[in-house]
Structures are given as C-alpha cells and as structure tokens.
C-alpha cells in the first residue's frame, strides 16, 4: 500500500450525492407522516392579543394547531449553551412559540400539523393573529440610546452583557507617537446553506422512544438540549443528522422548531415533518456578524505597533442564541491582535438585544471580525505614517513560534514571515506595485489588498471551555471497528456535513492499517450509534476528532501487533508493522496481513492469555490547546470609475493549516471560504427596515455570490504540523472567511487612494464605491 | 413555499386556449414555460384558480422569416431561439442577449412569448424588443391583431394584452445589414436580472452620418422604454465620441427610475447614461 495521506483523493461521499442518492432530512418519508408549518409574526415587536385558530382547525386534513399557550408548559425555553462568565449576562432564551409578545419579524406564533404540506400551508392563512404593535429597534447602537424602545423590562438599555478582556494602560496611548482610530462595521449576513433547516420526528408510544432527524452540526448538543426541553430522558431521544447540504454555523444553533415537531409527534403519535422554505430560512435561521467595532491603534512613526484596543457593539437579535454570547466576546476578543506581536491589547464587547433575528456563529465566528478590524487598522496605520502596508506587517508579524499573544493565546507552529514572503513572491508584489503606478498614470484604479491573518481553531481544550462558560466539553470521540473480514468502520462524534471527512478520515486509517480506502466506511451524526461527541464547527473536526481517530488507530495497531507476535511465536519487539504487513525483523518471509490478524482477533481461537477478543479502538481526545491556522492573502482589484464596479482580477493565498490530509479537499475548503468572505466584502448584506421588516429576505435581494463572480483562486499551502494534536492538523474550513473581507476592502480602498478615500463600509457595492468617487471628484 | 391549490387544464390549440380563458372568466392563467409564473405562485403573490397549459400547442413554436422581420413563435424557448439558424443569421443581437438571461435551466424552459407577456420591468428582452421595433402578435376572441411593442408594454407586469387573448408570436425587425447592434447588461448581483440593460441598433452612412438608431432600456424604471431623446439627438448627426457622449446623457431623460436595496434611482439614472454610452460606442464607432 502506498501512502494516501497528502494525496488529492476524490471524495468517497460524492458518487452518492451527485447521483441524487443522498438522504437529506426532507428525503425521509415515514408511514403516516404529517407535516408541520409555522405561523410567523409579521411584526418585529408586538403584543399578541389573541390568536384565532378555529378556521384553520376546520380545514379538512388539519390535525392540530398549537399556540404558545398550548406548548409553554410542555417545552421549556431553549437555553443558550454559551453563558460567558464575568459579564453580567442576562440570557433571554428562545421560547418555542411566542406567548404574550413577539420580538422579531418571523418569530413563530403557532404551528399547524396537517396531513399534507399543502394543507399545512393553506391552514397558515386561516390563522388570524391580533397584534398590538410596539416600537421597534433594529440597530444595536440605536438600541443603546436613552429613548430607545426596551424589549425586556429586566434588561435595561437592551444590554445583555458588557464584557472585557485585556488591559491597555492609558499612558501607552497618551505617549504614543501615532494613534489611529476607526469605526468598522461587520454587517449582518445570512448563512444560506443549500439545504435549509428541517426536522422529522417519530415517536414510539410503546417504548417512549423519540427519534428526530434534523439538520444539525452537533447532534449530541441537540440531544442534550431537546431532552431537557421536552422533559424526556436523554436515553429516550435519538438525534440523527442525515446527509446535509451545508451548515456554515447556522446549524450549530439549537432552535425551537425541532422540539415542536418532537412534541407534535409525541402528542399525535404520528411522525411529523417540518422543512423550512427559503424565505422562512431568511427569517428563522440565525443571522451572523452584525458587530460595530471601533478600534484604536497606538504605534510609532516607524511602524511598530504598541497597543490595540477594540470596542465592539454586537447585535444579538431578539434572543440569546446557542453561541450568541461567545462569538462577539471570546471568539472575537482573544484574537484582536491578529498575527502581530503587539504588547498591549484590550477588547470590550457590549451585547445588545434588538428586534431582529438572533445572531449566532457563521463560518469563522468572531475570528473574521477580529481579523477584519486588525487587518484594516494595519492599513489605516500604514497610510497614516506613509509606509507600505506590507512593510508594517513585516515589522510587526510574530517572529517566532510558539508565541503567546497579549490575550494569552499560544500560536502553535509555522513561519509567519516566510508565508508572507511566499505570497509576495507568488503575486510578484514588486512588479505589481510598478504596474499599479503605471495604471494610475492612465487613470485606471488598480488596488492591491493584503491580509496576514491568523485564527483560533480546533476547539478546544475542555478545561478552557469550562472556564469560558461553554456549556459542554470540547474533546472529541472517534472509534474504529475492525470487522472479521478486515474491513473497517470509523465512528466519530464530530458531525461533518459536507467537509469531506468521510474521505480524509479514511485516508488516515488507510495509512495507519495499510488497507485500501475502499475497505473503510465512515459513520457520524447519530446519537444512538455514536456514544458522545461535540460536533463539527470551529475547524475542529480534523484537529480534534482526527486526533482521536489517530490515537484509536494506534491502539488497534498495538493490539494487532501483540496478536501477530503471538501467532508468529516471537517477542513483540521483533514484530514490525508496515504497509499492512506484520513481519519479523530479519525474517521478512514470516508475516501476517492486517486482514489475517483482524480475523484472528475476531475468531479468538488463539489469542494471547488474558487478551479480550475483537479489534476495536476508541479514543476520547481532549486537545491540550487550540490550533492557529494562518496565512497571507493578496488580491488585485480594478475599480471601474464610471460604475464603481469592483473587478477581482487575482487572488493569491498561501495558507499554513498544518498537515494536509487531502490537498484537493483542502483547496475546496479554501475556495468555499473565500467565496463567502469575498461575498461579505462585496455583495452580501442583511437589511432591515426601521419597522424591523427584513428587506433582504429572498435571493432576489440578498446577493449570494455566484461562481462567475470569481477569478481562478491561486491557492497554495505550507504545512507546519501543529504540536497540539497527533495529526498535526490545524483546520482549514474558516481561513477564507477570516482573511478575505479585509483583503478585498484593503484592495478597494487602495484602488481609491487617488481620490483620498480612507474607508468604506462593507459590502462595497458599486453604488457605494461610485458615490465615494463621485463625491471626491465633485469636491476637487 | 407552496402555491395555493389550483386546477389545471391543457389547451390543444389557440382557439381552445381562448375559449378556456373565457370560460374561467378571469380566474384562468396561461402557463407556458412557467419560469416567471410559478415562482410568483409559490410566493402566493399570484393565486390563479386554473392554469391553462399552452405549452403543447405546436403551432406557437419556431422561427420564420417574413420579409424584413423574424417572427418567433411565442412558445419558442430561449434555448431554441439561441440555437436557431435564422436568429444567428439575422438577429445575432438577440442571441447575444439570450445568453445573458438567467441560467441554462431557465433558458431551456422559459419562452420568448412568456417573457414579453409577463412584462417584468427588469427582464432583458423588452429592451431588445424596443430596439428592434418588435410587434406582438395577439389572437383573441375577435381574431388576430398586431401591437407594436411600445403600445404593448405599459407598466410593471402590465400589458395591453386583453384578458381573453394570447400572445402567439413576437416579430422583430431585422436590423439593416450594414448596421451594428448590441445588448449590454448590468447584472443585479442577487437576482441576475438587469439593473440596467441597454439594447442599441444603429447604422451610419459611408460618411459617418447616423441614419438609423434605436435604443431600448430595461431594468432601470417601471417599464422598459425607448430612449427617444438619445435617438433624436443622434439621427442625422455624425458618429463622434462627443455626440455619443452628449446623447447618452439624455438616456433616462423624463423617465422615472426605480429603486431597490442594491441601486438607488440616482445611480440607475447614471448607469443608463454609462451603459447607453458604451452601447453607442460599440454600434457607432
């Protein structure tokens, strides 16, 4: 067997998916299955005076209509999992159906269960809800104002929490040669995976077992939460995440609808399915980002950064979602210094409730926001002191790892300067600067943007999870079962949903055992089959679950070796194992194959004394620290001065993501992340009216990036194994969203330099850019 | 989303379709490719009582040349028109525009007649139709009539089509052989519809005097329109950069611009000028 780690193997998952044989939640059809739909509030903030359901109930085929009052003593509020300590957090939990008051447009007020999806939708129109409108606040800064509407009586000024980390002595700023300050807006975006959310619940009244198939990135967290909410033992609830069409963080959150269909299935004793429509997804599934960050940077005239302090006002939406408090605090604050050796750092975050859809994690979760502000600040600082932004980066980049940043994060491995140098070479920075100079002479607006980002991934040590208020562990579980025939099944507690671990994990095991990839199956996403796990997010699957996998595989090899030594009649230390063959040193003809030992272990005819039969290995791996992928991204844009349109001409990225199992999958992750990161920089934006109506509520208005918007991505990797997990992997899923927004914005601002434009808020839509040019041209 | 319930009938001929429209008394709605109608039904913006499927009426398909015009059957799909040799030979600008309409799946199902009858203010074809002096062929209870496109379109999703009539074909004037034509489109990044789409057809004499000029603009306002002030300014003038630039500034004269999250009316007005100038340069220089 030749080594398969590091090879661009085609994904084992794909033949099924691309031939239409995937089993997604909406593909699940059970006998007698009913369909649920949700009546959603049309108002962003209103008292519910009365809900008339009689007409809907009269519609033939309608089995039940539930209102908030019907379910309030049957389903507990869905609790946020991340209660960040030390910030006076007032959590406002989602309740299954609003009872007295709705707090955002789209909040569910009633559920219809009917014999068909058609009837269930028709019945929604027969439900009449009487509302009394209340004043609305959608913007977090406006929500802090003295006269702003208050959403919760016990949350003064709508402030959910005030969090702070790090401390910069005031004199650092007072004495600094240069101080720059900028308000930067991370606009609200919506994840929009191809598959919207959904759930199918099936209940056995005889045994009391409830099974919910649903779109989740972390089925075990869903099980803990829903068992608690529904008041049933964890052991009576099985959560299955079938095939999923992406999640991007939006399917981490634990929502209410899945619990509602669970309740309906229990009460009606028939399976119940609910699947979001796309418009419903826009309203009901968590939004993301929406942070207003004001950063001050103190430095010297020759480009050394002394301190950074960031103040973040985060829009939490109407309720505290699953990770809602952690994203703009811990995930953001610990990384405000980026990849730079900055002695002092401070981050403060105010979490604010508003009459909007709750916000939660989205690809990168907090790290893209941290990266955006520091990468923009570097350029603004460079502009202020008249230095090339690349030179400022060179002056301040972490020189040597391991390195502990001002917030206490331990950057694990790699050469930060070398990575930048490689990217500069790849794009020919020197040549490019000359080209830009020439272009400017001809009135062309060419811009160069750069980011030397770093992110915190591979969540994470459970001790840290506990210390930061995360309501669970962050270790991971992988087990490997070697069947009598020598075929292998991998089980993992992570729950990949498009990232390709069905292939990459098989590559790891194929190399460990010296067996073909075809012999290896991969199972995840089922709480009955997988004992425990914490799910897939935070680029943790390969570093953490992959770490567990590697250890589990080693345990199997260790046992198999003992069996081989026993069968060959030699001491253990004389047995060598390579490429699937156990052989005796200096007697290569004496050997056993992995397959033979698998059979021996399983038949147990002749095992060493005291050895238990079978060949299975499991590991619960709790990583000693986080991993820190980093890299250098550089792009070239050209702005059309007549229209303001931004053309992305080149995008070069050099990422150090540790050891790479499958370069093709890794590159795919880079492409996907960049599409979303560039999407945020240029097109995507969730917009509310003052009345709290989501104006960007369909794909007619919300600009998801299309393939034709992008040039060929010039991606390459540097592999510096991380010391904190056995595979040396750092995680790659979120590099694109972390790096790209600042790369693009830096490039566009650079392109607009002839007009003196210093900053523009994302997304950099053509009109915004055109206006900036237009205003400046008029003024000249 | 899922549409409300509706009945479905299939019409085998044009007279039958007209009779059915009459029978359903305003509750019937014709469906051909369904690519504009079905999304509206799913949003429950449109809730027709009965869909009258005309997609199998063979006589409404195909392209023919009649004198100086190409007549395109209403049920001809975008993809069929794109692959038609007569279109390639005589209306290459239509092929250029069709390639900018939506995506492959939509082009395979969506029809030329459906597009014109739907009168979406951001659709691409109306700009072409205006620039190519299109005539809409209508059959109704009282027989056939032919309505110039400018009289046919009169508002967003509003046309001169009587309730019990159907569009059977759209004919386009074949541009002068020695002239040039183009369609330039500014894509909406979300929907892919035209924020502004400019179709221009022009011809000039050997000494550079413009003797034929048509400019149709879609997307920018409530309804596609002909930039008549641009045309008037240029007709009889020499095709110079300066003349083009001056003419382009008249592109959205006296026309109300639309507005959405992506583009304000000021910006749309500006884009009309920029895209008109670019289109004119292409066809006149």
ipTM higher than threshold 0.90: yes
- Chain A residues with CB-CB distance to B192 below 8 A: 706
How many Å lie between the alpha carbon of B192 and the closest alpha carbon of chain A?
8
B2 in contact with A, Cβ within 8 Å: yes
What's B58-173's CATH class?
alpha beta
Q: Hey, what are A510's tokens?
A: 């194929």
- Chain B residues with CB-CB distance to A695 below 8 A: 261
- A331 DSSP 8-state letter: I
**CA-nearest residue of chain B to A122?**
B4
pLDDT, residue A779, reads: 45
B104 in contact with A, Cβ within 8 Å: no
- Antiparallel, parallel or unpaired: β B69-73 and B166-173: antiparallel
Please give the share of chain A, as a percent, with pLDDT higher than 90.
98
Q: How do residues A512-546 score in pLDDT, each as one tens digit?
A: 999 999 999 999 999 999 999 999 999 999 999 99
- Chain B residues with CB-CB distance to A765 below 8 A: 189, 262
* A475-621 and A287-459+625-779 share a CATH fold: yes
Strand partners, A291: A186, A314
Task: Please state, in angstroms and rounded to a whole number, the distance separating the CA atoms of residues B217 and B275.
Answer: 9
A704 in contact with B, Cβ within 8 Å: yes
| CB < 8 Å from A in window 60-79 of B | none
| B44, B190, B270 member nearest A703 (Cβ) | B190
B172 in contact with A, Cβ within 8 Å: no
Q: Would you call B190 and A699 a contact, using CB atoms and an 8 Å cutoff? A: yes
Q: Would you call B1 and A277 a contact, using CB atoms and an 8 Å cutoff? A: yes
**CA-nearest residue of chain A to B189?**
A703
- A358 DSSP 8-state letter: P
Domain ranges (residues) in chain A: 18-134+194-246+251-284, 287-459+625-779, 475-621
**Do B116 and B152 form a contact (C-beta atoms < 8 A)?**
yes
**Is the pLDDT score of A778 beyond 70?**
no
**CA-nearest residue of chain A to B268?**
A767
pLDDT, residue A1, reads: 63
Domain A475-621 has CATH 3.30.365.10: yes
Considering the domain B7-53, what is its CATH architecture?
2-Layer Sandwich (3.30)
Interface test with A, best of B47, B249, B267, B268 (most A CBs within 10 A): B267
A117 in contact with B, Cβ within 8 Å: yes
Please name the helix (run of DSSP H) or strand (run of DSSP E) that holds residue B127, with its range, or none. Answer: helix B125-131
Contacting residues for A412 by C-beta, under 8 A, at least 6 apart: A401, A402, A625, A626, A627, A628, A722, A723, A724, A730
Task: Please state, in angstroms and rounded to a whole number, the distance separating the CA atoms of residues A379 and A372.
Answer: 11
| A709, A765, A770 member nearest B262 (Cβ) | A765
Q: Would you call B189 and A767 a contact, using CB atoms and an 8 Å cutoff? A: no
Please name the helix (run of DSSP H) or strand (run of DSSP E) that holds residue B66, with its range, or none. Answer: strand B63-66
For residue A2, name the pLDDT band (cuts at 50, 70, 90).
confident
**CA-nearest residue of chain A to B122?**
A700
| CB < 8 Å from B in window 416-455 of A | none
Q: Hey, what are A765's tokens?
A: 């839509």
Task: Please state, in angstroms and rounded to a whole number, the distance separating the CA atoms of residues A755 and B223.
Answer: 36
Mean pLDDT of A624-641: 98
Q: Hey, what are A586's tokens?
A: 């200096």
pLDDT in tens, chain B (285 residues): 789 999 999 999 999 999 999 999 889 999 999 999 999 999 899 999 999 999 999 999 999 999 999 999 999 999 999 999 999 999 999 999 999 999 999 999 999 999 999 999 999 999 999 999 999 999 999 999 999 999 999 999 999 999 999 999 999 999 988 899 999 999 999 999 999 999 999 999 999 999 999 999 999 999 999 999 999 999 999 999 999 999 999 999 999 999 999 999 999 999 999 999 999 999 999
How many Å lie between the alpha carbon of B251 and the closest alpha carbon of chain A?
15
Task: Please state, in angstroms and rounded to a whole number, the distance separating the CA atoms of residues A463 and A95.
Answer: 30
B47 in contact with A, Cβ within 8 Å: no
- Antiparallel, parallel or unpaired: β A476-482 and A445-454: unpaired
- Chain A residues with CB-CB distance to B2 below 8 A: 117-118, 121, 277
> Distance of alpha carbon B47 from its chain centroid, rounded?
24
A622 in contact with B, Cβ within 8 Å: no
Q: Hey, what are A640's tokens?
A: 């059309």
Report which of A608, A570, A622, A613 is spatially closest to residue A591, judged by C-alpha positions. A570
Total beta-carbon pairs less than 8 A apart between chain A and chain B: 54
pLDDT, residue A535, reads: 97
Helix (H), strand (E) counts: chain B: 12, 14
Mean pLDDT score of chain A: 97
Q: Would you call A701 and B43 a contact, using CB atoms and an 8 Å cutoff? A: no
Q: Would you call B264 and A767 a contact, using CB atoms and an 8 Å cutoff? A: yes
How many Å lie between the alpha carbon of A763 and the closest alpha carbon of chain B?
11
Torsion sign across C-alpha atoms A731, A734, A736, A742: negative
- A466 DSSP 8-state letter: H
| A683, A703, A767 member nearest B267 (Cβ) | A767
**Do B111 and B30 form a contact (C-beta atoms < 8 A)?**
no
**Do A197 and A285 form a contact (C-beta atoms < 8 A)?**
yes
Task: Sort A439 into a burial class: Cβ within 10 Å, 0-12 / 13-18 / 19+.
Answer: middle
SS3 A356: coil
- Antiparallel, parallel or unpaired: β A646-656 and A237-240: unpaired
pLDDT, residue A780, reads: 45
Interface test with B, best of A125, A766, A768, A778 (most B CBs within 10 A): A766
For residue A134, name the pLDDT band (cuts at 50, 70, 90).
very high
How many Å lie between the alpha carbon of B4 and the closest alpha carbon of chain A?
7
Report which of A287, A294, A468 is spatially closest to residue A372, judged by C-alpha positions. A294
**Is the pLDDT score of A737 beyond 50?**
yes
Contacting residues for B120 by C-beta, under 8 A, at least 6 apart: B36, B156, B157, B193
pLDDT, residue A586, reads: 83
Fold type of domain A287-459+625-779: Aldehyde Oxidoreductase; domain 4 (3.30.365)
**CA-nearest residue of chain A to B5?**
A118
Report which of A23, A50, A26 is spatially closest to residue A109, judged by C-alpha positions. A50
Strand partners, B137: B146, B169
DSSP string, A207-265: TTEEEEEE--S-HHHHHHHHHHHHT--GGGEEEE--B-S--TTTTTS--SHHHHHHHHH
B189 in contact with A, Cβ within 8 Å: yes
Q: Which residue has the tokens 């809409």?
A: B136
pLDDT, residue A228, reads: 97
Domain A18-134+194-246+251-284 has CATH 3.90.1170.50: yes
SS3 B237: coil
B106 in contact with A, Cβ within 8 Å: no
Q: How many CB atoms lie within 10 A of CB A177?
A: 12
Angle, CA of A401, A724 and A370, to the nearest 5°: 60
Q: How do residues A137-187 score in pLDDT, each as one tens digit?
A: 999 999 999 999 999 999 999 999 999 999 999 999 999 999 999 999 999
Instruction: Return the CATH number of the domain spanning residue range B180-284.
Output: 3.30.390.50
Domain ranges (residues) in chain B: 7-53, 58-173, 180-284
DSSP string, A647-696: EEEEEEEEEE-BS-S-HHHHHHHHHHHHHHHHHHHHT----B-TTS-BSS
SS3 A627: strand
Strand partners, A397: A340
Q: Rounded to the nearest 10 degrees, how much is the dihedral formed by the CA atoms of A398, A399, A405, A408?
A: 140
**CA-nearest residue of chain B to A118?**
B2
First and final C-alpha spacing in chain A: 70
- Chain A residues with CB-CB distance to B190 below 8 A: 683, 699-704
Mean pLDDT of A239-261: 97
- Chain A residues with CB-CB distance to B269 below 8 A: none
pLDDT, residue A29, reads: 98
- Antiparallel, parallel or unpaired: β A34-40 and A272-275: parallel
B191 in contact with A, Cβ within 8 Å: yes
């Amino acid at each position: 067997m030749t080594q398969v780690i590091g090879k661009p193997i085609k994904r084992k998952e794909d033949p099924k998916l691309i031939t239409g044989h995937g089993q997604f939640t909406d593909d699940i059809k059970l006998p007698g299955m009913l369909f649920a739909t949700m009546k959603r509030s049309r108002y962003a903030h209103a008292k519910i005076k009365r809900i008339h359901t009689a007409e809907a109930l009269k519609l033939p085929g309608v089995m039940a209509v539930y209102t908030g009052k019907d379910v309030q003593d049957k389903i507990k509020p869905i609790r946020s999992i991340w209660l960040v300590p030390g910030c006076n957090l007032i959590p406002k939990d989602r309740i299954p159906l609003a009872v007295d008051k709705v707090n955002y447009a789209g909040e569910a007020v009633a559920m219809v269960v009917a014999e068909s999806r058609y009837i269930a939708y028709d019945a929604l129109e027969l439900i009449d809800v009487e509302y009394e409108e209340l004043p609305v606040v959608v913007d977090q800064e406006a929500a802090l104002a003295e006269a702003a509407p208050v959403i919760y009586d016990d949350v003064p000024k709508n402030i959910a929490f005030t969090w702070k980390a790090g401390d910069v002595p005031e004199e650092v700023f007072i004495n600094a040669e240069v101080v720059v300050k900028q308000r930067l807006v991370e606009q609200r975006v919506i994840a929009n995976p191809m598959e919207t959310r959904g759930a199918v619940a099936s209940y056995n009244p005889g045994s009391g077992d409830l099974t919910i198939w649903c779109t989740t990135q972390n089925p075990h967290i869903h099980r803990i939460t829903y068992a608690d909410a529904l008041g049933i033992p964890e052991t009576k609830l099985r959560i299955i995440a079938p095939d999923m069409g992406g999640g991007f963080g939006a399917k981490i959150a634990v929502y209410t609808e899945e619990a509602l269909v669970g309740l309906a299935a229990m009460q009606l004793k028939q399976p119940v399915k609910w699947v979001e429509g796309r418009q419903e997804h826009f309203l009901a599934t968590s939004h993301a980002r929406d942070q207003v960050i004001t950063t001050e940077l103190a430095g010297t005239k020759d480009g050394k950064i002394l301190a950074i302090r960031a103040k973040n006002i985060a829009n939490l939406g109407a309720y505290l979602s699953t990770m809602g408090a952690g994203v703009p605090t811990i995930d953001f604050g610990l990384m405000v210094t980026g990849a730079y050796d900055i002695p002092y750092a401070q981050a403060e975050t105010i979490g604010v409730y508003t009459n909007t859809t709750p916000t939660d994690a989205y690809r990168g979760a907090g790290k893209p926001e941290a990266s955006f502000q520091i990468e923009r600040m570097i350029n603004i600082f460079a502009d202020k002191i008249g230095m090339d932004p690349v030179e400022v980066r060179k002056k301040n980049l972490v020189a040597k790892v391991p390195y502990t940043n001002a917030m206490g994060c331990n950057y694990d491995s790699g050469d930060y300067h070398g990575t930048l140098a490689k990217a500069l070479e790849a794009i020919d920075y020197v040549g490019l600067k000359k080209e830009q100079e020439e272009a400017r002479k001809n009135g062309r607006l060419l811009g160069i943007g750069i980011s030397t980002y770093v992110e915190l991934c591979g969540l994470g040590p459970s001790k840290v999870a506990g210390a930061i208020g995360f309501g669970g562990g962050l270790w991971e579980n992988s087990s490997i079962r070697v069947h009598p025939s020598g075929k292998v099944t991998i089980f993992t507690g992570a729950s990949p949903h498009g990232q390709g671990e069905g292939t990459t994990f098989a590559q790891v095991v194929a190399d460990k055992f010296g067996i073909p990839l075809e012999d290896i199956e991969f199972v995840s996403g089922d709480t009955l089959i997988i004992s425990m796990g914490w799910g897939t997010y935070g680029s943790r699957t390969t570093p953490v679950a992959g770490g567990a996998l590697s250890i589990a595989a080693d345990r199997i090899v260790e046992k198999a070796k003992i069996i081989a030594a026993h069968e060959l009649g030699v001491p253990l230390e004389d047995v060598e194992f390579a490429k699937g063959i156990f052989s005796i040193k200096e007697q290569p003809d004496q050997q056993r194959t992995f397959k033979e030992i698998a059979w021996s272990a399983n038949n147990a005819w002749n095992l060493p004394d005291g050895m238990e039969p079978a060949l299975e290995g499991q590991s619960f791996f709790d990583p000693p620290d986080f991993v820190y992928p980093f890299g250098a991204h550089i792009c070239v844009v050209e702005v059309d001065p007549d229209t303001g349109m931004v053309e992305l001409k080149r995008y070069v990225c050099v990422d150090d993501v540790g050891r790479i199992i499958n370069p093709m999958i890794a590159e795919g992750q880079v492409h996907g992340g960049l599409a979303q990161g560039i999407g945020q920089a240029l097109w995507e934006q969730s917009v509310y009216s003052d009345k709290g109506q989501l104006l960007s509520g369909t794909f007619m208005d919300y600009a998801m990036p299309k393939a034709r918007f992008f040039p060929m991505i010039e991606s390459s990797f540097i592999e510096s194994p991380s010391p904190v997990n056995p595979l040396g992997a750092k995680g790659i899923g979120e590099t694109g969203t972390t790096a790209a927004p600042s790369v693009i914005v830096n490039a566009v601002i650079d392109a607009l330099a002839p007009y003196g434009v210093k900053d523009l808020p994302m997304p950099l839509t053509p009109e915004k850019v055109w206006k900036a040019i237009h205003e400046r041209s008029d003024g000249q | 989303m899922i549409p409300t319930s509706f009945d479905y009938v299939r019409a085998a001929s044009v007279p039958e379709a007209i009779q059915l429209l009459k029978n359903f008394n305003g509750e019937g709605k014709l469906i051909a490719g369904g690519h504009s109608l079905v999304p509206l039904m799913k949003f429950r913006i449109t809730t027709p009582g009965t869909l009258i499927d005309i997609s199998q009426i063979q006589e409404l398909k195909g392209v023919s040349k009649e004198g100086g015009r190409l007549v395109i059957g209403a049920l001809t799909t975008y993809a069929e028109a794109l692959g038609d040799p007569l279109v390639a030979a005589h209306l290459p600008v239509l092929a250029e525009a069709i390639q900018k309409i939506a995506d492959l799946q939509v082009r395979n199902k969506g029809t030329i007649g459906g597009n014109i009858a739907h009168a979406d203010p951001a659709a691409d074809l109306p700009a072409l139709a205006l620039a190519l002096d299109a005539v809409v062929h209508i059959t109704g209870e009282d027989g056939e009539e032919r309505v110039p496109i400018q009289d046919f379109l009169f508002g967003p999703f509003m046309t001169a089509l009587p309730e019990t009539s159907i569009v059977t074909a759209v004919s386009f004037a074949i541009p002068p052989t020695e002239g040039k034509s183009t369609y330039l489109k500014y894509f909406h990044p979300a929907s892919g519809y035209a924020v502004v789409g400019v179709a221009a057809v022009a011809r000039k004499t050997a000494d550079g005097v413009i003797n034929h000029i048509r400019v149709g603009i879609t997307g920018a306002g409530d309804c596609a329109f002909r930039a008549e002030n641009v045309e008037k300014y240029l007709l009889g003038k020499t095709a110079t950069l300066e003349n083009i630039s001056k003419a382009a500034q008249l592109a959205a004269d006296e026309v109300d611009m639309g507005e959405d999250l992506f583009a304000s009316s000021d910006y749309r007005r500006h884009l009309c000028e920029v895209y008109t100038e670019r289109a004119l340069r292409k066809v006149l220089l």
